[in-house]
Amino acid sequence: MKFVNEYRDSSVVATLVGAIARVATRPWTVMEICGGQTHAIVKFGLDEMLPPGLTLVHGPGCPVCVTPVELIDQAVALAQRPEVILCSFGDMLRVPGTTIDLLTAKARGGDVRMVYSPLDAVALARSHPQREVVFFAVGFETTAPANALAVLQAEREGLRNFSALVSHVLVPPAMRAILAAPDNRVQGFLAAGHVCAVMGTAEYGPLAREFGVPMVVTGFEPVDILEGLLRCVRQLEAGRAEMENAYARAVRETGNPSARALVSRAFTVVDRNWRGLGPIPASGLALRPELVRFAAERKFGLAPALLGPAGECISGSIMRGIRKPHDCPAFGTRCTPDRPLGAPMVSSEGACAAYYRYRHRASAA
């Protein structure tokens, strides 16, 4: 398949691994920021091919994983209202709240529906004028344009029974928070190619220079990731800290102007709490004041979201690159995809889910 098979070519992978081994002369710790990259790394065993001392750690690159428990609780509260149809992407249904998840709320009689597009929720609002349709708008910059389009479409049609519970987060502020933490161990970043395809790369150069940490925009296949890692290690060895675009087939410096315009029309930047990471300034999106009538928390008078308990899950340490999933004493025993203690075990992009799927049997043996 074009643009897939050639980026999984074993001979090219071997060449890149060899080049990395020749370039790396000392230990380095590099974080991939996207959960899709994490799954590719673990699935194809890329981290196990690297020279000793070159360590890949996993960042907060899963939007499901970083959605705070208090927002899950608000979604559950909405789902239990008889007049509400709560629409969500599938991964969110099993993310634990303080007491139950959305799937349990559905089992108890809540009208919770999995959708594949936010416009599906708009269509439901159009066809069910007697019901209140709430879309759980979760994600990074990648899903923000489509979610913005849904709200703007509802405004255009005058749909008074549509609203959104918004929990959007932004990647660069999270990278800043990781780098500024006193226990940070990240020396280089593989930035998420799909985020940059939407928003561009302008924010990464200043961040790289400020913290002295190279940032390489990378794709999601083995050759993409290893090419990005090679560029990152070259910078580290040379003492450089710059932004490089190793995903030029999809990413431009300016991103996608049309998508960015949609985001600007619908959302404004706000402080946001991240599950496992805590509050991060200017790290989220909320509906603009002129669209606040579509904000579900305002429409339904939801109680302000309170910081949920940390519990046993160590996802915060995993998403800051301090620990790995198998460092958790509950991994694969008390925490499994069927009975997750935290979001990283639920999500299709979660680091714990990747380790459980691809390495649990080997470690158990």
What span, in angstroms and rounded, lies between the C-alpha atoms of 47 and 43?
10
Domain match, 40 and 176 both:
yes
Please answer whether residues 80 and 48 qualify as being in contact, where contact means their C-beta atoms are separated by less than 8 angstroms.
Answer: no
Asked whether residue 320 is assigned to any structural domain, the reply reads yes
Q: What is the mean pLDDT of residues 220-244?
A: 97
Summarize the confidence of residues 187-196 as an average pLDDT.
Answer: 96
Mean per-residue pLDDT for 102-113? 97
Q: Does residue 55 share a domain with residue 180?
A: yes
> Does residue 109 carry a pLDDT above 60?
yes
Residues 134-158 have a mean pLDDT of 97
Q: Are residues 204 and 334 in the same domain?
A: no
CATH code where residue 188 lies: 3.40.50.11750
Structural domain tally of the chain? 2
- If you average pLDDT over residues 32-53, what whole number do you get? 94
Residue bearing tokens 């009689």? 109
Angle CA 212–282–306, to nearest 5: 125
345 lies in the same domain as 202 = no
pTM, to two decimals: 0.90
Q: What is the mean pLDDT of residues 318-324?
A: 86
pLDDT at 62: 84
- Tell me whether strands 243-245 and 215-218 are parallel, antiparallel or unpaired: parallel
Asked if 216 and 189 touch (Cβ cutoff 8 Å), the reply is yes
- 349, part of any domain: yes
Please check whether residue 134 lies inside any domain of the structure: no
Q: Are residues 222 and 359 in the same domain?
A: no
- The answer to whether residues 54 and 28 touch, using CB atoms and an 8 Å cutoff, is yes
Q: How confident is the model at residue 365 (pLDDT cuts 50, 70, 90)?
A: very low
Same domain, 51 and 180: yes
Reply yes or no on whether the pLDDT at 307 is more than 80.
Answer: no
Calculate the average pLDDT of the chain. 92
Residues 339 and 221 in one domain: no
- Domain termination site, one of 213, 245, 277: 245
Domain presence at residue 53: yes
Indicate the range of 42-46, 60-64, 234-238, 358-362 predicted with least confidence.
358-362
**164 assigned to some structural domain:** no
For 6-35, what is the mean pLDDT? 95
CB atoms near residue 257 (< 10 Å) = 10
Q: Mean of the pLDDT values across residues 98-117? A: 95
% of the chain beyond a pLDDT of 90: 73
Q: Burial-class residue 327 by CB neighbours within 10 Å (0-12, 13-18, 19+).
A: exposed
User: Would you say residue 57 lies in a domain?
Assistant: yes
Instruction: Lay out the sheet containing 111-114: strands in order across.
Output: 111-114, 84-88, 132-139, 162-169, 278-287, 267-274
Confidence at residue 338, expressed as pLDDT on a 0 to 100 scale = 83
Asked which of 185, 212, 245 is the last residue of a domain, the reply is: 245
Out of 217, 245, 273, a domain closes at 245
Residues in CB range of 283: below 8 A, 6 or more apart = 169, 170, 173, 174, 177, 271, 272, 274
Residue span of the structural domain in which 319 resides: 315-364
Range 334-359 average pLDDT: 85
51 inside domain:
yes
Give the pLDDT band of residue 23 (cuts 50, 70, 90).
very high
157: in domain? no
What is the mean predicted confidence (pLDDT) over 23-39? 94
**Cα–Cα nearest to 94, from 85, 86, 84, 104:** 104
